[in-house]
Structure 1
Amino acid sequence: MKDSRVLVVDDDPDVRGLLREMLERAGCLVREARDGREALKILYDARPDIILLDVTMPDLDGWQTLERVRDLTDVPVVMLTAANAELEKVRGLQGGADDYVTKPFGRQELLARINALLRRATSQRPPERETYEDDLLTVDVANAEITVRGQSVQLTPLEFRLLLAFVRNPDQVLSRDQLLDLVWGDSTAVAPDQVKLYVGYLRRKLEGALPDGETVPIETVRGFGYRYRPA
């Protein structure tokens, strides 16, 4: 975490000050933005390693900002919000956020989540010149491109990492903890139910490129985990 560049986006100066103090004590380099538009301007210059993004902001809110960030980069994004509703969390994860933290947050928990995302981003970058191919899909790892029966499929960075975990371990049952380690970088800092959520997202996106009734071979092995069984 030391020397990591963090962009804090929140319209509340007290929250920004609290986060700056906490992160700088952990050795991070912090930039602040008061709203989404300022954050997008800073993004080009600061090139942050991670973004902490408030949901409720005037003009360009957190959801709109996240959408534009994802058009530009796959930098890890943690959404910060006072809402604890499940639908809000699902919206954030579907929108491409890597994690979701409810205010008020525990300092140690937030630091652990940030550290897990930073560790994953630095240690699990896909190797160059790697391509996976079977009868169903082709994965160009270096360019983060996926085709299903020749049709291009767009995945979020997290969904792409999940697919890589499966195709790099074909016919092997991967437990939730294994997937949390492989995809999120930490089996303790992320809620296990996110695995089920993202496997569902991945299945639906891949199956969207298939004829009606045809499914992708990502199996749920009850009581154990998930398995990709290519034809």
Structure 2
Amino acid sequence: MTLSQPVGADLDELYAGQRSRVMIVDDDPDTTLLLKQILRSAGFDVLSAANGIEALKKYHAVTPDLVLLDLMMPEMDGWEVLRQLRQFSPTPVMVLTAINSKETLVDCFQLGADDYLTKPFYRGEVLARINAVLRRSRRPQPAYRYAFPKIGLIIESQSREVRYKDERIPLTVKEFEVLSTLARHAPEVVDYLTLSEAVWGQDLPQARQRIKFLIYLLRRKLGRVDPAGADLIVNVDRLGYKLETGEG
């Protein structure tokens, strides 16, 4: 008599569910095909959309782990996609665009983008940036509360809420990471490497310039509540930044 053998496991199916899903939103089919090849060869599951309307529909159906987003598209552009995503989702968004402009970079960060990369892109950098963003998004967040009564600043990690002079200050993910890192080390100086690792999970080549943009945005938001708020974050030449807590 022949004994029946147990059915073996399909390991491809077993591990498929553990792969990260990336949605490419770009109206250029050549760019989409290239990105799909790069990401699939690196072990990612991928899907694509040629405009913002299609992207939002697919997002709700699949819920990707990261969105690669072009800005200039028909029907609904990347700006509107980012605005709508940030109304209901914290999913990381990396802007991938041909627009090489500091103003555009700042605007994207203000809307809640997690990273910004210009075309043409280098395969290795795209993968490194994606992996860094995914690592940050999955990092467990410790519960903490920083209160600086002399300057009227309160930072809550669980709700990611910042209050200054009893007024709530809406911050993007990256702005919050910068401010909370400065608060954690206050009143000591925080170097650029520490800030870069807190925000991007690694030391990026353009980290200093990007940190300067984020500091500029933070100063502007704090200064809208009270002009003195713009002076709370102090640049220490060639070293980094520190938070003035009024503690002496």
Q: Same fold (TM over 0.5)?
A: yes
- Please point out which of 162, 171, 175 is paired with 1:159: 175
Superposed, which structure 2 residues align to 1:184-199 within 5 Å? 184-188=200-204, 190-199=206-215
5+ residue gaps, structure 2: 1-17
More deviation in 82-91 or 162-171?
82-91
Equivalence for 2:197: 181
- Aligned 8 A contact 1:184 1:190 in 2: no
Q: CA deviation at 1:214?
A: 5.2
| Structure 1 pair 72–169 and aligned structure 2 pair: CA distance change class (3 A) | same
Q: Distance in 2 between matches of 1:215 and 1:104?
A: 36
Equivalence for 1:224: 239
5+ residue gaps, structure 1: none
Paired residue secondary structure (1:168):
helix
- Aligned 8 A contact 1:54 1:81 in 2: yes
Percent sequence identity over aligned pairs: 38
Q: Distance in 2 between matches of 1:97 and 1:107?
A: 20
Paired residue secondary structure (1:42):
helix
Q: Which amino acid is the alignment partner of residue 226 of structure 1? A: Y
Larger radius of gyration: 2
Q: CA deviation at 1:190?
A: 4.7
Paired residue secondary structure (2:190):
coil
Equivalence for 2:145: 131
Residues 174-217 of structure 1: per-residue CA shift (max 9 Å, x gap): 1112100111111036542001110111111122222x455442
- Aligned 8 A contact 2:27 2:73 in 1: yes
Higher helix proportion (structure 1 or 2)? 2
How many pairs are equivalent? 227
Equivalence for 1:28: 44
Paired residue secondary structure (2:60):
helix
- Aligned 8 A contact 2:109 2:172 in 1: no
Equivalence for 2:25: 9
Q: Distance in 1 between matches of 2:104 and 2:162?
A: 28
Q: Distance in 1 between matches of 2:33 and 2:205?
A: 24
Bigger relative contact order, structure 1 or 2 (CA pairs below 8 A, ≥6 apart): 1
Q: CA deviation at 1:47?
A: 2.2
Equivalence for 2:34: 18
Residues 52-102 of structure 1: per-residue CA shift (max 9 Å, x gap): 001110011011111111112222211121222333323322322222222
The answer to whether the aligner puts 1:63 opposite 2:79 as a matched pair is: yes
Residues 126-172 of structure 1: per-residue CA shift (max 9 Å, x gap): 224x2221112112211111111211111111111111111111112
Paired residue secondary structure (1:143):
coil
Q: Which amino acid is the alignment partner of residue 29 of structure 1? A: D
Q: Which amino acid is the alignment partner of residue 215 of structure 2? A: V
| Structure 1 pair 217–49 and aligned structure 2 pair: CA distance change class (3 A) | same
Q: Distance in 2 between matches of 1:67 and 1:176?
A: 29
Q: Which amino acid is the alignment partner of residue 223 of structure 1? A: R
Equivalence for 2:7: none
Equivalence for 2:13: none
Q: Distance in 2 between matches of 1:228 and 1:201?
A: 15
| Structure 1 pair 217–182 and aligned structure 2 pair: CA distance change class (3 A) | same
Q: Distance in 2 between matches of 1:109 and 1:190?
A: 12
